[in-house]
Amino acid sequence: MQNFDAVLFDAGGVFVLPDPTVLGPLLAPYGGATDIDMHVRAHYRGMAVKSAKGSAEKSWHEYNLAYVESVGVPADEIAYAAHVLDSTRNAYVWRWPLAESVAALAALVAAGVPVGVVSNASGQIEEVLQRSGVCQVGHGAHTSVRVVIDSHVVGVAKPDPGIFDHALVYFEGIERHRIAYVGDSVTMDIGGARAAGLYPILLDPFDDHLGADFHRIRSLLELL
Ligand SMILES: [Mg+2]
């Protein structure tokens, strides 16, 4: 692996997922499983389908269908369950921390690696990351990061490379190609980071993107 001097991260799908302890019981009446691991798997399945279809950031239709199918909703209930999922999931439900990612972030920071977060969000992501025990900007109870950029706050969203400029001012002196950007969306994260001149890496825990022409990791621990 290339050596990096700094790492920027996406938030959704990297540190936090749509809360499976909410979505499990939500989808159970339509035949969905409540098993946490199945919901984690369903998120990445949904993201892979969303990326394959080239869906825009705010278009979650393909994701919803793939998600409910992945947790075992039978064919005749998929459309209805996907509608219920879409009606329930909101920015604040993206709050369930991925323990391995949280641990990897802490270890990177402990190793002296400058890190930050750049997220397409709704104005909530900095507080959600703090409440979920992932990180905060500056000193605090959790891992300290240099900056958390929220697309709603700065008014520009991935894949527009301009969103990264808001973070890169906190990484002065580090060349862009020496800064990795880790996300779970090919369209938003790989595309956006490439356009910004960063080094894109896809978090692909289930190898949904075998053969892709970009760097993939199965766990943030690989960054160490
Ligand atoms: Mg994401």
What does 123-156 look like in DSSP terms, one character per residue? S-HHHHHHHTTSEEESSSSSEEES-EEEHHHHT-
Decide: 32 and 204 in contact? Cβ < 8 Å: no
Note the pLDDT of residue 105.
Answer: 98
For the entire predicted model, the pTM comes to 0.96
Q: 7 alpha carbon to ligand 1 midpoint, in Å?
A: 15
Q: 14 alpha carbon to ligand 1 midpoint, in Å?
A: 6
Q: 115-119 and 6-9: which strand pairing?
A: parallel
Q: 189 alpha carbon to ligand 1 midpoint, in Å?
A: 7
> Rounded CA gap, 67 and 64, in Å?
5
Q: Which residues are within 8 A (CB) of 186 and not within 5 positions of it... i.e. 6 or more apart?
A: 51, 202, 209, 212, 214
Q: 15 alpha carbon to ligand 1 midpoint, in Å?
A: 9
Tokens 């000193």 label which residue?
A: 139
Q: Write the pLDDT tens digit of every residue in 108-159.
A: 999 999 999 999 999 999 999 999 999 999 999 999 999 999 999 999 999 9
Q: 112 alpha carbon to ligand 1 midpoint, in Å?
A: 24
Q: 31 alpha carbon to ligand 1 midpoint, in Å?
A: 26
Note the pLDDT of residue 168.
Answer: 98
Q: 81 alpha carbon to ligand 1 midpoint, in Å?
A: 22
Q: Write the pLDDT tens digit of every residue in 38-74.
A: 999 999 999 999 988 887 777 899 999 999 999 999 9
Q: Write the pLDDT tens digit of every residue in 68-110.
A: 999 999 999 999 999 999 999 899 999 999 999 999 999 999 9
Q: 118 alpha carbon to ligand 1 midpoint, in Å?
A: 10
Q: Is the pLDDT of residue 33 over 90?
A: yes
Q: 141 alpha carbon to ligand 1 midpoint, in Å?
A: 24
Decide: 68 and 80 in contact? Cβ < 8 Å: no
Note the pLDDT of residue 73.
Answer: 98
Token pair, residue 187, equals 């369209």
- Spell 35-50 as b/e; 16+ CB within 10 A means b: eeebbbbbbbbbbbbb
Q: Is the pLDDT of residue 18 over 80?
A: yes
> Rounded CA gap, 99 and 112, in Å?
20
Q: 44 alpha carbon to ligand 1 midpoint, in Å?
A: 10
Q: Average the pLDDT over 171-197 and give the result.
A: 97
Q: Average the pLDDT over 175-199 and give the result.
A: 97
Q: Average the pLDDT over 18-47 and give the result.
A: 98
Q: 182 alpha carbon to ligand 1 midpoint, in Å?
A: 9
Note the pLDDT of residue 58.
Answer: 77
> Rounded CA gap, 165 and 151, in Å?
12
